[in-house]
Structure 1
Amino acid sequence: MNPTAPKHQFVNPFNIEDTELVIGGLKLSRLAQRVGQTPFYAYDRQLLNARIAELRQNMPPELKIHYAMKANPMPAIVQHMATIVDGFDLASAGEMKVALDTVMPATQISMAGPGKRPAELGQAIAAGITINVESQQELNVIAALSEQTGIQANVALRINPAFELKASGMKMGGGPKQFGIDEELIPTVLQHIKSLDLHFKGFHIYSGSQNLKAESIIDAQQKSIQLAVSLTEHCPSPIEKLNIGGGFGIPYFPGDVPLDTRPIGDALAEAINQSKSQLPEAEIIIELGRYLVGEAGIYASQVIDKKISRGQIYLIVDGGLHHHLAASGNFGQVIRKNYPVAIGNKMGIEEMETVNIVGPLCTPLDILADKVPLPKAEIGDYVVIFQSGAYGLTASPTAFLTQPNAEEILV
């Protein structure tokens, strides 16, 4: 990289009208009045639609796009996503209930997680969704439940591959992991499945997340398909579903370059075409959460105090890490970095000052932005955190210090 080249800067995906951010066709101040309080999360359905449309344009037409509900399980979001994606991937019985309340067929829903309780497994069997099996013990429990209920369970094996998704924010495959069954053990487990009355669906291979390197994603996808092909001779029946995971990231911090999905789609089309003879009945699935919803959401709070401490300006807002742990830097960041932030009712104002934005909690960890240049703000102005559509409210310690909760709205 050229050291003199400018770093990539955040591009606001929302409209601006009269210096106010516009979400879902409404100015921020009017939206706040409609919600009835701050803080709140707002998600723009048109941005959700646009992301899916762009992805379908860049991906092979036969590819199935699943929404990973853990990114944002808000019922209104899930209801909307059910009309624009091909399936859901969920991680709990609670998420299962939300998913089954939508129009999405159970046949297009799968469940993953390394510690599924027997009761959850029983619910999944009864619902007819596909269970991504994470261990030999879990497989035995499923088989016993299936025999007890007389309902044949749908199962896919989640594989912990020998490879990893390089340059990913969180690695979920390669080496020792709590996720899935180690690749080298899969043939033995497949042999065991042949003796059980279970409906074998295929494989789930999820090796990492939050990746902005197209070449890394291409490499992992190709290796995932090759691994599935190599296991076909051991399978009790033809592979029906091959979930090759996700990993697509979004830019959060200065210097992050948005992911270009076009080369990923081109390479994936070639890999799918080459594997058709070995995987003639398989649906190829990608499982995305953050990439589908992350950039469509904002977190808005209001300035309730402004003070100067030894030369530094502090904007104290009515929201904080209890609603948005990720923006505070306490959700996986080693070195704290600022999410993109704005004064939502003073967009484009030139009079700037450098401020710290902090929440109301009695902890020095409650920082939403540290030393950021922003338009001069006063009490009553709105602070907006962008890139907040994924891993927001439900990924935060909402009970901490018993503060009021944030609202969520889809517009």
Structure 2
Amino acid sequence: MTAAIGAFERMDGRLAVGGIDVERLAARVGSTPFFAYDRALVTQRVAEVRAVLPERVHLHYAVKANPMPALLQHLSGLVDGFDVASGIELRNALDTPTPASRIGFAGPGKSEAEVCQAVASGVVLEVESERELVVARDASVATGIAARVALRVNPDFTVRGSGMRLGGGPQQFGIDSERVPTALATLSDYGLDFQGFHMFAGSQNLRHADICEAQRRTVELAGRLGDAAPGPVRYLNLGGGFGIPYTDRDQPLDLGPIGENLHELMAGAVPKLLPQAQIVVELGRYLVGEAGVYITRVVDRKSSRCKTFLVVDGGMHHQLAASGNFGQVIRRNFPIAVANRIDAEPAGPVTVVGCLCTPLDLLGDNVELPKAGIGDLIALFQAGAYGLTASPTAFLSHPAPLEVVV
């Protein structure tokens, strides 16, 4: 049994989410498939992170991981701030009690309307290019509000072990570190309110040593770049990159050494190089990924040339990552279970497929599951991040699933 499945409760042999057994929850939601997010597991994960972070380090939630408004409302009482990547995410974040001053807006290709929205809202605009500095200047003039600006830096180093690299080499993200001094001079000429820097070098990393190295190098680089800034560095977003295990081969990330590394930085390099900076760690997937489950119902059981298939009413159009089509080089099964028979013994290998008319719609290949048939509920775990909003919901025009926080 994987750790992901074990994190959830059981009630009378059935999976439970938020203290509600899955069959009752399906009846309460009213239809399958659906995503369910366990608020207690989210709260627990935030507490685990808080326990290792230095008190002076702020914890932000990366909204792109899961922007469901009800989930944001819950997280607003747990984290120090939000980081958004679109105008709609910004509006949803502003609808929570989180102060605008603790919201950062990053991402390449922001529209002029989005930049103006950020300036008028008073959030930290994390500028990704020289062009965005010009747009920020124009928005400041139009609104009469000096844009609160942090430069997103494309560092001159890469992070080993990251599932996706967002820094080092040529990138669409941020301003190359060697060009930052020129950008800082331009920012000063434009009269913008300089806040600091944002550096995010990689995501989905399960190796604490690599994350620690990235944090150390980020602080060092920010200290050097700050020498050319028009004012003190008051904000440094270290990014995150904390990964979660998706398969049995993955080992969970060890938070302890990361916390120790941050304590050392806050006691040494930060007060020396960045004495006025508020340090931010930005996490998305790590806070919510393991608290979510995708529930879908078996609509057919069939045999084809000695292979058994369970056909469900959901599929890759809702949970693309589980199908292996979300950038994975090698497809591996996500944790999967028969939710209404969670403790039953396996009865042999089956292949779980969705309802789409494509062989890509594969949710579990030759997985050992208890005997399941029409009407049974299948649970796909690790579904709390990059699930619904990262999937092609319009593909083949099937209905969209619902989402609930319980």
Smaller-chain TM-score bracket: over 0.9
Task: Give the 5 Å matches for 1:4-153.
Answer: 12-153=6-147
1:406 counterpart residue number: 401
Deviations 1:45-78 (A, max 9, x none): 0001000111111111111000000000000001
Equivalent pair of 2:18/2:39 in contact (CA under 8 Å): yes
Distance in 1, matches of 2:213 and 2:239, equals: 13
Residue 278 of structure 1 and its aligned partner are, at CA, apart by: 2.5
Deviations 1:15-59 (A, max 9, x none): 112110010000000000000000000000000100011111111
1:297 aligns with 2:292: yes
Residue 378 of structure 1 and its aligned partner are, at CA, apart by: 1.1
Residue 193 of structure 1 and its aligned partner are, at CA, apart by: 1.5
1:341 counterpart residue number: 336
Deviations 1:85-111 (A, max 9, x none): 000000000101100100000000010
Distance in 2, matches of 1:68 and 1:398, equals: 22
Equivalent pair of 2:242/2:286 in contact (CA under 8 Å): yes
| Percent of aligned positions that are identical | 53
1:262 aligns with 2:270: no
Deviations 1:210-233 (A, max 9, x none): 000000000000000011111221
Residue 149 of structure 1 and its aligned partner are, at CA, apart by: 2.0
Equivalent pair of 2:347/2:370 in contact (CA under 8 Å): yes
Counterpart amino acid of residue 201 in structure 1: Q
2:211 counterpart residue number: 217
Equivalent pair of 1:8/1:257 in contact (CA under 8 Å): no
2:279 counterpart residue number: 284
Distance in 1, matches of 2:212 and 2:374, equals: 48
Equivalent pair of 2:5/2:335 in contact (CA under 8 Å): no
Deviations 1:330-378 (A, max 9, x none): 1111111110000001112124120000011110001111010011111
1:157 counterpart residue number: 151
Deviations 1:231-261 (A, max 9, x none): 2211111111100100000000121000011
Counterpart amino acid of residue 329 in structure 2: V
Question: How many equivalent residue pairs?
Answer: 405
Counterpart amino acid of residue 200 in structure 1: F
Distance in 2, matches of 1:143 and 1:339, equals: 46
Distance in 1, matches of 2:3 and 2:144, equals: 57
Counterpart amino acid of residue 20 in structure 1: R
Counterpart amino acid of residue 305 in structure 1: D
Equivalent pair of 2:298/2:376 in contact (CA under 8 Å): yes
Say which SS state the counterpart of residue 93 (structure 2) adopts. Answer: helix
**Gap change, CA 1:236 and 1:351, over 3 Å in 2:** closer
Structure 1: 5+ residue runs without aligned partners?
1-6
Distance in 2, matches of 1:94 and 1:141, equals: 19
Equivalent pair of 1:89/1:111 in contact (CA under 8 Å): yes
Deviations 1:299-332 (A, max 9, x none): 0000000000000000000000111111111111
1:387 aligns with 2:382: yes
**Gap change, CA 1:57 and 1:351, over 3 Å in 2:** closer
Counterpart amino acid of residue 338 in structure 2: I
Task: Give the 5 Å matches for 1:164-183.
Answer: 164-183=158-177
Distance in 2, matches of 1:92 and 1:137, equals: 17
Residue 197 of structure 1 and its aligned partner are, at CA, apart by: 1.5
Counterpart amino acid of residue 243 in structure 1: N
Equivalent pair of 2:2/2:335 in contact (CA under 8 Å): no
Counterpart amino acid of residue 32 in structure 1: A
Distance in 2, matches of 1:49 and 1:8, equals: 21
Residue 10 of structure 1 and its aligned partner are, at CA, apart by: 5.2
Deviations 1:156-195 (A, max 9, x none): 0000001111110000000000000001111111122221
In the superposition, the TM-score normalised over structure 1's length comes to 0.97
1:186 counterpart residue number: 180
Distance in 2, matches of 1:213 and 1:69, equals: 23
Equivalent pair of 1:10/1:254 in contact (CA under 8 Å): no
Distance in 2, matches of 1:214 and 1:243, equals: 18
**Gap change, CA 1:400 and 1:216, over 3 Å in 2:** same
2:364 counterpart residue number: 369
Equivalent pair of 1:9/1:255 in contact (CA under 8 Å): no
Counterpart amino acid of residue 372 in structure 1: V
Distance in 2, matches of 1:295 and 1:272, equals: 29
**Gap change, CA 1:8 and 1:354, over 3 Å in 2:** closer
Counterpart amino acid of residue 48 in structure 1: V
Say which SS state the counterpart of residue 164 (structure 1) adopts. Answer: coil
Match of residue 326, structure 1, among 298, 302, 321: 321
2:303 counterpart residue number: 308
Say which SS state the counterpart of residue 236 (structure 1) adopts. Answer: coil
Counterpart amino acid of residue 241 in structure 1: Y
Match of residue 358, structure 1, among 353, 361, 383: 353
Equivalent pair of 1:8/1:256 in contact (CA under 8 Å): no
Say which SS state the counterpart of residue 320 (structure 1) adopts. Answer: coil
Distance in 2, matches of 1:377 and 1:25, equals: 24
Distance in 1, matches of 2:377 and 2:271, equals: 53
In the superposition, the TM-score normalised over structure 2's length comes to 0.98
Counterpart amino acid of residue 59 in structure 2: I
